[in-house]
Amino acid sequence: MGKLAFFLMIGVLVYWLIKVRLSEEKKHQENHTDEKNNTLESPEEMVRCAYCDIHLPRNESISSHGNFYCSDEHRSAHLNSSS
């Protein structure tokens, strides 16, 4: 019975080590995703409409030929006026 108890103890120890390791990795991954989300979302890049000079977030703008526009109307209007 002494042997069985010994193996049981080792089994519990290994299980516990794996559990701790997994939870630590999960924590690290969660931290990394948090950092990624922060860098993606918090500094919102502002761009300027090439037609009316209004400032707007880049993800709400329309980009064309390296310029940004606040709306599709201004994009076509600017393209028509420049060509």
Residues that bind Zn ion (CB under 5 A): 49, 51-52, 70, 74
Comparing CB distances to Zn ion, the nearer of 47 and 49 is: 49
Chain centroid to CA 20? 27
Q: What angle do CA 78, 79, 81 make, to 5 degrees?
A: 65
Q: Which lies closer to Zn ion via its Cβ, residue 18 or residue 52?
A: 52
In the complex, minimum distance from the CB of residue 77 to Zn ion, in angstroms, rounded to a whole number: 8
Backbone angles phi, psi at 61, to 5 degrees: -90, 165
What minimum distance in Å lies between the beta carbon of 60 and Zn ion?
A: 12
Of 47 and 74, the one with the shorter C-beta distance to Zn ion is 74
Amino acid at 72: D
